[in-house]
Amino acid sequence: MVTKTSSYGMSQGDQAYERIESLIAHMELKPGETMTMADLQERVSLGRTPVLEAIRKLSDDTLLEVRAGRGIKVTPIDLHRERRLLRIRRDIEVFVVELAIDNASGLVRNQLNQLARMLRELKSGSDIRPFNELDKRMDQLLLEAADEPFVERTLRPLHTTFRRLGYLYQSHLGSERTVQKNIQMHMDMLDAIIERDTPKALKATHLLMDFMEEMLVPLERDLAPSYLDVNIKPF
């Protein structure tokens, strides 16, 4: 099932990217899974040209691997690599938060306020999908406010990488409590940004990165390797 994405103002290539990215983030395309171009066209209900454009971008993002004559492979999860990438993400997120506080327009601040209300209204439960959609929108708004294309190109695939890890964690090891904790940390960060309280916003950002780092420990210790790469056979 394809996650619905608004097509308003989006090219078909962008629509294809958003749909495939969501399939990866929510493990509907499993780590290590191999497919053909036709498979992806069918999954996202779009033609060859936009899907090819999306595949190229996702390959640049290291979320897909294009292998000549052997199909398209979803990049497996490498927790050691993800731990290194989190160190990079932490530094860049701090920079983005500082830029967003300094540069956010009135329109962006209005959208951030609306997003904060929607986060508060999220129903209790262990399903992380509704939160993931708001989290993605928050990331997009902060990058829009930061207004630095290089940072956006760097962070976009990192956001997807860790959204996938969060979904994996919550699906197999998490609980309603962990979802609520994640939501609360995002609200604390968002409220501080809206209030233009830089020290508070940076503290909230570091706490959120700490939460992600802590999540890696049970993923490494308790999860079957086949969840990280479907090509690894269970013991």
The answer on 172 and 92 residing in a single domain is yes
| Token pair listed for 136 | 């993605």
Q: What mean pLDDT comes out for the span 40-63?
A: 95
Closest by CA position to 213, among listed 190, 185, 177, 180: 185
Query: Taking CA 161 as the corner, what is the angle to CA 155 and CA 162, rounded to the nearest 5 degrees?
Result: 90
Return the CATH number at 16.
Answer: 1.10.10.10
Whether residue 230 lies inside any domain: the answer is: no
pLDDT digits (tens, 9 = 90+) for 172-200: 998 888 988 999 999 999 999 999 999 99
Pair (36, 139) in one structural domain: no
Give the tens place of pLDDT for each residue, 4-32: 344 557 899 999 999 999 999 999 999 99
Q: Are residues 150 and 188 located together in one domain of the fold?
A: yes
Domain check: are 90 and 165 in the same one? yes
C-alpha to C-alpha distance for 148 and 198, rounded to whole angstroms: 19
Assess if residue 3 is contained within a domain: no
Task: State the total domains in the chain.
Answer: 2
234 falls within a domain: no
With 0-12 CB in 10 A as exposed, 13-18 as middle and 19+ as buried, what is 18?
A: buried
E runs forming strands in the chain: 34-35, 64-67, 71-74
Residue 109 and residue 27 in one domain: no
Question: What average pLDDT score do residues 82-104 get?
Answer: 95
If asked whether residues 33 and 147 sit together in one domain, one would say no
Q: What's the whole-number mean pLDDT along residues 29-54?
A: 95
* Residue 5 maps to a domain: no
pLDDT at 8: 57
Q: State the Cα–Cα distance between residues 139 and 145, nearest whole angstrom.
A: 10
* Residue 20 exposed, middle or buried by CB count within 10 Å (0-12, 13-18, 19+): buried
In a domain? residue 54 = yes
Please compute the mean of the pLDDT values over residues 103-121 and round it to a whole number.
90
Residues 118 and 181 in one domain: yes
Name every residue whose Cβ is closer than 8 Å to that of residue 14 and which is 6 or more positions away in sequence. none
The verdict on 69 and 131 lying in the same domain is: no
CATH number at residue 212: 1.20.120.530
8 Å CB contact between 45 and 2: yes
Same domain, 182 and 198: yes
pLDDT of residue 105: 87
CA gap 13, 50 in Å, rounded: 4
218 close to 173: Cβ distance less than 8 angstroms: yes
Residue 33 is assigned to a structural domain of this protein: yes
Domain shared by 22 and 126, yes or no: no
Domain boundary among 74, 89, 124: 74
229 backbone dihedrals φ, ψ, rounded to 5°: -155, 115
* 58 belongs to a structural domain: yes
Give yes or no for residue 233 having a pLDDT over 50: yes
d(CA 143, CA 138): 9
- Same domain flag for 189 and 132: yes
**Considering the domain boundaries, does residue 64 fall inside one?**
yes
Q: Are residues 30 and 101 in the same domain?
A: no
Q: How far is CA 227 from the centre of its chain?
A: 18
Integer Cα distance of 36 and 123 in angstroms = 38
Put residue 115 in one of left, alpha, beta given phi > 0 → left and psi -120 to 50 → alpha: alpha
Residue 123 pLDDT > 80, yes or no? no
Q: Which domain holds residue 51?
A: 12-74
**pLDDT more than 70, % of the chain:** 94
- What mean pLDDT is predicted for residues 159-181? 93
